[in-house]
Amino acid sequence: MPLTDSAASGDRLSTLRDLRDLLARQIESCESMRDLAALSARLQSVLEEIAELEPKKAEGDGIDEIAKRRAARRPSARKGAARAKRSS
Q: What is the pTM of this model?
A: 0.62
Q: Is 27 exposed, middle or buried (0-12, 13-18, 19+ CB in 10 A)?
A: middle
The candidate with the shortest Cα–Cα distance to 23, out of 1, 7, 44, 48, is 44
The candidate with the shortest Cα–Cα distance to 26, out of 41, 14, 12, is 41
Q: How confident is the model at residue 67 (pLDDT cuts 50, 70, 90)?
A: confident
Least confident of 2-11, 34-43, 55-64: 55-64
Integer Cα distance of 43 and 38 in angstroms = 9
The helix/strand/coil state of 77 is: helix
